[in-house]
Structure 1
């Protein structure tokens, strides 16, 4: 038997194993997805549209704070800390200084995590800052010697452009950084379901 939430399907055994939904200051289904991912569940996008939904202006996801972007980033910060991703790290380097990067910084800073700064593709003066934190800009991807200075930090990819995010992740992998250990995507473009299923 399977269960369906507003945007994903999963086996009842997975739901039961993870204790079902729980009450948090963020969306219960998103909370469940983060717990399932940590437990090793394989998540992917189905190539076809399976459900047609009507998005009314008064639906909860449009009006309740727990379904808004800041709450989702609170969940990400909560679970990254709970899962120990910042253990023995001197702080965070955030790749991307747009809305996602700034929200990421806010969510971690309020939990006492040291924000080392931002890296992005906006060159500026040497003392450039974004929200009071240093910001280093490079026209292309940052050079290896720059990234090596952050080997003991957790790098969060908060890059909205999927091609830019993929290129940055590939550079980090090429330099020996390990995804979901040394760097994490806070926006993730899930692979197609065919990656996991026939």
Structure 2
């Protein structure tokens, strides 16, 4: 039997309430040359039986039951079992649009330099969604091109993990998924980025991303703001632009901004200036370093700027002002979450 063109990886744990809908959405794909590897991570409910019923009706579905491994172990088990060169991720509570696999596969084939692709997503059900998550999805859905994702990768996770499709060899070369006190999905994208791989997104909503209070990302400390910040800073500190010796300026001199930036300073970085748009902070010092207005950056020897400002709308205002001063995103400044 020849290998399929796509392997869909679906780890699940006690997902009986949503798994049937998820499986139906996968089986209704317009792209049909795939295998579905469903990995039972030690469920105690009827999840495995739901998969068995679908597998009896569809020979493309394979059920693996290695026992309780945790989400990273389950994904690596599925990755090891995958027969296709292209792998698509899926979660057991989300829903694929019918053309998801087709459109993402088409993009990977059309642009061989891409190691991974995602898609825009829609959150549901509406009553479960908090305001901050709406803003995050607005930002994420605007990260489309490979340049967008590379330049914005230190803000937040730029591709929803269950929308991800990637080249299996590229991820295996990095050792697969890593387990640790950090979000494994963000870690994977950061490692792909640092390995020089390009990633992009289909500009269409191809995944319906279910929000619920019981989601692992809401309950596990590996997905806390602090865990994201530590992981982000670990990779940011190794970024060649920060290792070049170019003077560094940090935008945002408020208390919360300084706390997040301190994680980077703990790696030994020392800014030549703090930049703030609040006139009340101009002239102050932070750890002996002066606070300047944005216009201070209009000097000939431009420092590299990290903007830690995350207030709604402020990031876009600062980016526009930096560009007016001749700073180019990715080359002269980066936004940091």
TM-score between both structures, scaled by the size of structure 2: 0.45
Q: Does 1:50 align with 2:207?
A: yes
1:149 Cα deviation from its structure 2 partner: 4.8
Q: Which runs of 5+ in 2 are unaligned?
A: 1-5, 7-86, 92-159
> 1:132-151 residue pairs with structure 2 within 5 A?
134-137=290-293, 142-143=294-295, 146-149=296-299, 151=301
With over 3 angstroms needed to count, the CA separation of the structure-2 counterparts of 1:102 and 1:68, relative to structure 1, is farther
Q: Does 1:25 align with 2:181?
A: yes
Q: Does 1:40 align with 2:197?
A: yes
Query: For 2:231, what is the secondary structure of its paired residue?
Result: helix
Alignment match, 2:89: 4
1:83 Cα deviation from its structure 2 partner: 2.8
Is the radius of gyration larger for structure 1 or structure 2?
A: 2
Q: How far apart, CA to CA, are the structure 2 residues paired with 1:54 and 1:158?
A: 27
1:105, 1:115 within 8 Å by CA — same for their partners in 2? Answer: no
2:248, 2:272 within 8 Å by CA — same for their partners in 1? Answer: yes
> 1:116-155 residue pairs with structure 2 within 5 A?
116-124=272-280, 126-129=282-285, 134-137=290-293, 142-143=294-295, 146-149=296-299, 151=301, 153-155=303-305
Q: How far apart, CA to CA, are the structure 2 residues paired with 1:103 and 1:91?
A: 20
Q: Return the structure number with greater relative CO, CA threshold 8 A, min gap 6.
A: 1
TM-score between both structures, scaled by the size of structure 1: 0.70
Post-superposition Cα deviations, 1:69-96, rounded to whole Å, max 9, x if no partner, equal 2222222222122232212335532223
Q: How far apart, CA to CA, are the structure 1 residues paired with 2:235 and 2:264?
A: 11
Query: For 2:165, what is the secondary structure of its paired residue?
Result: strand
CA RMSD of aligned residues (A): 3.2
With over 3 angstroms needed to count, the CA separation of the structure-2 counterparts of 1:4 and 1:179, relative to structure 1, is same
Between the two proteins, the alignment pairs up a number of residues equal to 180
1:156 Cα deviation from its structure 2 partner: 0.8
Q: How far apart, CA to CA, are the structure 2 residues paired with 1:133 and 1:65?
A: 34
Query: For 2:241, what is the secondary structure of its paired residue?
Result: coil
Alignment match, 2:143: none
With over 3 angstroms needed to count, the CA separation of the structure-2 counterparts of 1:185 and 1:100, relative to structure 1, is farther
Per mean C-alpha deviation after superposition, the further-off stretch among 104-113 and 37-46 is: 37-46
With over 3 angstroms needed to count, the CA separation of the structure-2 counterparts of 1:101 and 1:43, relative to structure 1, is farther
> 1:35-184 residue pairs with structure 2 within 5 A?
35-38=191-194, 39-44=196-201, 47-48=204-205, 50-57=207-214, 59-89=215-245, 91-98=247-254, 101-124=257-280, 126-129=282-285, 134-137=290-293, 142-143=294-295, 146-149=296-299, 151=301, 153-161=303-311, 163-184=313-334
1:19 Cα deviation from its structure 2 partner: 3.1
With over 3 angstroms needed to count, the CA separation of the structure-2 counterparts of 1:150 and 1:19, relative to structure 1, is farther
Post-superposition Cα deviations, 1:99-135, rounded to whole Å, max 9, x if no partner, equal 7633431211111111344322211165424577543
With over 3 angstroms needed to count, the CA separation of the structure-2 counterparts of 1:116 and 1:54, relative to structure 1, is same
